Amino acid sequence: MKAALKLFTEMGFHGTSTAQISKEAGVATGTLFNYFPTKEDLINGLYFDVKGQLSRSMGREIQAQSTFQDKLRKMWYNLIEWGLDNQNDFLFVGQFCSSPYITNYTREEVMKEYVFLHDLVKEGIANGEIRDYSEELTIAMFYQASRTVVNFILDSEPQDKNKVIEDGFQIVWEGLAKK
Amino acid sequence: MKAALKLFTEMGFHGTSTAQISKEAGVATGTLFNYFPTKEDLINGLYFDVKGQLSRSMGREIQAQSTFQDKLRKMWYNLIEWGLDNQNDFLFVGQFCSSPYITNYTREEVMKEYVFLHDLVKEGIANGEIRDYSEELTIAMFYQASRTVVNFILDSEPQDKNKVIEDGFQIVWEGLAKK
DNA sequence: CGCATAAATGACTAATTAGTCAATCTCAGA
DNA sequence: TCTGAGATTGACTAATTAGTCATTTATGCG
């Protein structure tokens, strides 16, 4: 799975042959198909795993934060830290989140892990912490903004990463918060 | 090119065979290779074309706007309108902007068309209209936010698109503007 | 040790791939 | 109507593809 992840992000799903994957993994092609009946099963397993890790990283220590802003900031930092520490996983999710090879079943299973994010946003709107935009739009803007920051850091390699991360949060917070 | 664009967005670069492209286009495979010596030439030509169209759409009527906020809002609407009206092009740019098949030459040629966006942001910072974040970060956040809104509209099909677009702009504007 | 089950192997196949090229067709101008 | 340069064609090739399976190797247990 690690080998496939690396190759998929470098050369895409169809661009990576099963022969390459097994070679990179140091096993025979037959072994690969022993564990994943088809190439699609492999990508779905990968997506499931990676999204699960992302979800778990994102929610880490959220409840320990006292204010709503701190909860959101903590989530922001979690998301970005995960992206920077797991670049292949980060790129993989970006490339394959809307890919036709991810089955609807996999997609739905993954969605179940993100309930707490919805709950947090709902709470923020209800308590008047953030503006009353559509919940889904708010989540999308927040999540994609964090991806933008990670991508920005990855391909512009700024001297002061931490400033970029905090600036990014300021932009998102000012954008969403009720004044 | 239109045929290739459609197929590439549906099934990816490697997922689309030259046979499929020529069939979709209603020509023989030989004809395809008469115009594009290799498959890579085709994708680079496509990227160049589509990005050019995006750039031209984005800059439309900007100078006619009086205030800085109106200029930015106009650009926001231009970007989103282009994405909604040219879904294949929009998806193509998203999928292939960081693809290894786009040569650096193509990428650099495309960049040249975006100078005016840099200039606008510089102007906004200099005049104290928007906060003094890194110019590149500001542009990335603005551009990716517009993509988030288009994607959101495309796959959640809200009743009131215009509200989503304007809400999206409010989020970005509040995020970037100097209070 | 011996045995049975499970895991790993890589040569193999049928299908598909990007790209070629000799033959055919098109059509403007004489 | 005839000519010829350029456009179009699709059968073809050598390489590669996802996936198979008979055989070999590793492992756990008495």
For every residue of chain A, DSSP letters joined together read -HHHHHHHHHH-TTTS-HHHHHHHHTS-HHHHHHH-SSHHHHHHHHHHHHHHHHHHHHTTT-TT--SHHHHHHHHHHHHHHHHHH-HHHHHHHHHHTT-TTS-HHHHHHHHGGGHHHHHHHHHHHHTTSB----HHHHHHHHHHHHHHHHHHHHHH--S-HHHHHHHHHHHHHHHHB--
Q: Answer whether residue A99 shows pLDDT above 90.
A: no
Instruction: Please tell me the predicted confidence (pLDDT) of residue A159.
Output: 94
Q: What is the mean pLDDT of residues B54-82?
A: 96
Asked whether the beta carbons of B174 and A175 are under 8 A apart, the reply is: yes
Split at pLDDT 50, 70, 90, the class of A131 is very high
What pLDDT digit, counting tens, does each position of B120-176 carry?
Answer: 999 999 999 999 999 999 999 999 999 999 999 998 999 999 999 999 999 999 999
Residue B137 C-alpha, separation from nearest chain A C-alpha, in angstroms: 7
List chain B residues with CB under 8 Å of A164.
Answer: 134, 137
Q: Is B159 helix (H, G, I), strand (E, B) or coil?
A: coil
Which of the four pLDDT bands, split at 50, 70 and 90, describes residue A98?
Answer: confident
Amino acid identity at A46: L
Site from A141, A153, A156 to mutate, B interface, most B CB atoms within 10 angstroms: A141
The spacing between the Cα labelled CA in A111 and the C1' in D26, in angstroms, equals: 40
Centre a 10 Å sphere on the Cβ of residue A165 and count the other Cβ atoms it contains: 22
Convert the pLDDT of each residue in A2-53 to its tens digit: 999 999 999 999 999 999 999 999 999 999 999 999 999 999 999 999 999 9
Can you give the pLDDT at residue A26? 95
pLDDT for the residue A142: 97
Chains A & B: contacts with CB separation below 8 Å: 98
Predicted confidence at residue A101, as pLDDT, reads: 87
Query: Residues A149-178: what's their mean pLDDT?
Result: 97
pLDDT at A171: 98
Q: pTM of the full predicted structure?
A: 0.93
**pLDDT the model gives residue A151:** 97
Segment 32-91 of chain B within 8 Å of chain A by CB:
none
Percent of chain B at pLDDT exceeding 70: 100
**Amino acid A87: pLDDT:** 96
pLDDT band at A169 (very low <50, low <70, confident <90, very high): very high
